[in-house]
Amino acid sequence: MTEQVGSRSAGVTGLVLAGGLARRMGGGDKGWQNFRGKALVAHAIERLAPQVETLLINATQNREAYQALGYTVVSDVITGNPGPLAGVHAGLTACTTPLLATVPCDSPFLPLDLVDRLHQALIEADAQLAVVEIGRRPEAVFMLCRREVRDNLGQYLAAGGRKIDAWYAALKVIAVPFDDPAAFVNINTLEELQRLETT
């Protein structure tokens, strides 16, 4: 069965989060782990780029390697490795479109209609943020948010906040159900990488 490709969403910047420390992979740069013949980050870009107007990569190491992929690379503005929210903040700071869609670099099976579905739900609900939901559980790093939430996020991070769902609890949020958990798999360990390589 052929996957349905969503339309390119005008006014949306895509952000691939590749700034993690990959502790569960023994450190290093998770985005450059080889998976099915190419880097993990390349899989995420391949699936997200056709869905958005423009694309950014958030990276804190190997910036030149990421820049060589042909996209603008943004680094965390908030120092101290505070986690993925710092990457989201960097993306919101750099993006010039009204909306920002975020995905992690370690999810190579992203739905091709991800942004389209989040965008539609966000507009219909007049929400500030739309988040993927699987089985009534939010997959918080897969989201679409309005650029206007940047200052709110900056204040949350400056106050020591780190959890994504705790941050957006204060915003107007719409959860968007998806029915394929495999599409949102995060590859966190070398064992998972090897297992999925052949499945």
Residue 2: Cβ-neighbour burial (10 angstroms; 0-12, 13-18, 19+): exposed
For 35, the enclosing helix (H) or strand (E) is: strand 34-35
Share of the chain above pLDDT 70, in %: 88
Among candidates 29, 168, 22, 149, which has minimal Cα distance to 91? 149
Q: Residue 192: is its pLDDT beyond 90?
A: no
Residue 43: Cβ-neighbour burial (10 angstroms; 0-12, 13-18, 19+): buried
Provide the pLDDT confidence category of residue 21 given band limits of 50, 70 and 90.
Answer: low
118 or 8, which is more confident? Answer: 118
When the pLDDT of each residue in the chain is averaged and rounded to a whole number, the result is 89
Q: How many CB atoms lie within 10 A of CB 63?
A: 13
pTM, whole model, 2 decimals? 0.90
Among candidates 109, 163, 171, 167, which has minimal Cα distance to 134? 109
- The CATH class given to the 9-197 domain equals alpha beta
SS3 per residue for 13-24:
EEEEECCCCCHH
* C-alpha to C-alpha distances, 173 to 2, 34, 59, 64, nearest whole angstrom: 31, 35, 27, 35
Residue pair 143/84 in contact (Cβ under 8 Å)? The answer is no
| pLDDT (0 to 100) of residue 194 | 73
Q: Mind listing the pLDDT tens digit for each residue in 79-120? A: 777 789 999 999 999 999 999 999 999 999 999 999 999 999
In angstroms, the CA 84 to CA 103 distance is: 10
Q: Residue 23: is its pLDDT beyond 60?
A: no
Domain ranges of the chain: 9-197
